Amino acid sequence: MNPRAFKKSLLLSVFAASLGLRTSASDWPQFLGPTRNGVYSGTNLAESWPKEGPQILWQKKVGQGFSGPVVANGKLILFHRLDNREVVECLDAFTGKQLWAHDYPTAYRDDFGFDEGPRATPAIAEGHVYTVGAEGMLYCLDLDTGKILWNVNAKAQFQAPKEFFGIACSPLVEGKAVLLNIGGAKGAGIVALETTTGKVLWQATDDEASYSSPVPATLNGKRQTLVLTRDGLVSVDPADGKVLFTFPWKPPMHASVTAAVPLVIEDLIFLSASYGAGAMVLRVGNDKPEKLWSSHDALSNHYATSVHHNGFLYGFDGRQEQGCNLRCIELKTGKIRWSRDRFGAGTILLAGDQLLILSERGELIRAPATPAEFKPSARVQILPVQVRAHPALANGLFYARSPDKLVCVDLRKPAKE
């Protein structure tokens, strides 16, 4: 083969490999990933990082917001605020190049002087993008073009209150329904809208909204959606909104924020919140939850949901402003196996048997998920401070944002020579 033909063949091989990567590796299409529990199922991550840290492929200046990035079909959706507009921006996930953008006006003001951008992480499903703004503007956009398919003003339509920090529920798509923990009036605590039209399919409960988002579950062979409202745990049938069970559970004070989502492990449900609520594990038998254990001192998640691996939970204990502890506890007993006190706040993902911890200080830390001890194997600074949004891990690339920057970090295995 002559040099020119060899070069052409090599380029075609690289291109084909790139296409294969785009279609075969794991996406991160919604809050907390494809299974809504912070777990990455891909097998393409490097076993170790270079001494100088993994490569940052690209970075981009962004606006305000606690909304995390999501990725599907090689496209990244960034939801942020620029000036007085909430912006839904679609980027090429491998290069950061803008593909399209949609924006609309917002007048949201934070009563406590915090970030005034959107809080909810978008969802991508069946070629559609669903976003919920801080004032409750819900948009359904075409993933390929950004075209508006429909929109709903949830604040006006359901009389959803602002509460402390605006509307923050990350939408869940289940079948033909978009589910929201919205806390509306007249039985609109939890609502379901048709994915293709925005038409109300059903609404359920009079519960006020917490800052926790719905999660899917299959318990006793029955598909259901679990929602942690301000009043407690609610299970609804996503098809018709029928309430399957409720379990009262909430912090003892009204001035509180419940943000971590219910974590489902087989027939067990882990609930966690700060402000005096603590943690609890329920076992669901015969469609009725029963308390397995509860504790005020085990693992009280403030805003970041814990992850589970081989019978142990890993997460942040305590309130963000008071300095969190990073902990490992036994799922079935609540016994603390190790605790790194005053570690600080952050978020945590599980990839295989590895924890990927993104601290609020912008440091990415890798450590084995083991109850024996906390022993980081690598750490690297990837962002400035005040990192609150949940990251995404798709196709071996780690996406994270601060109040003004979005980065793409390459955690993939090195290409074979």
Residue 157, SS3? helix
Does some domain include residue 211? no
- Per-residue pLDDT, 80: 98
Does some domain include residue 416? yes
- Per-residue pLDDT, 320: 87
How many residues are there in the chain? Answer: 417
Q: Are 362 and 402 in contact (CB under 8 A)?
A: yes
Does some domain include residue 89? yes
pTM of the model: 0.92
Query: How far are the Cα atoms of 26, 54, 89, 209, 401 from residue 60, in angstroms, in the given order?
Result: 23, 17, 12, 33, 9
- Per-residue pLDDT, 20: 35
Cα angle 218, 178, 164 (rounded to 5 degrees) comes to: 100
**Domain extent for 46:** 26-122+388-417
Q: How many domains are there within the chain? A: 1
Does some domain include residue 96? yes
Does some domain include residue 412? yes
Q: What SS3 string covers 7-28? A: HHHHHHHHHHHHHHHHHHCCCE
Does some domain include residue 316? no
- Per-residue pLDDT, 6: 33
- Per-residue pLDDT, 211: 95
By the 10 Å C-beta count (0-12 exposed, 13-18 middle, 19+ buried), 105 is classed as: exposed
State the 10-residue block means of pLDDT for the chain, 417 residues long.
37 35 67 97 94 96 97 98 98 98 97 92 98 98 98 95 92 97 96 98 96 96 96 97 96 88 97 95 90 96 97 96 94 98 97 97 98 97 95 98 97 81
- Per-residue pLDDT, 187: 97
CA dihedral of 389, 271, 111, 86, whole degrees rounded to 10:
40
- Per-residue pLDDT, 14: 36
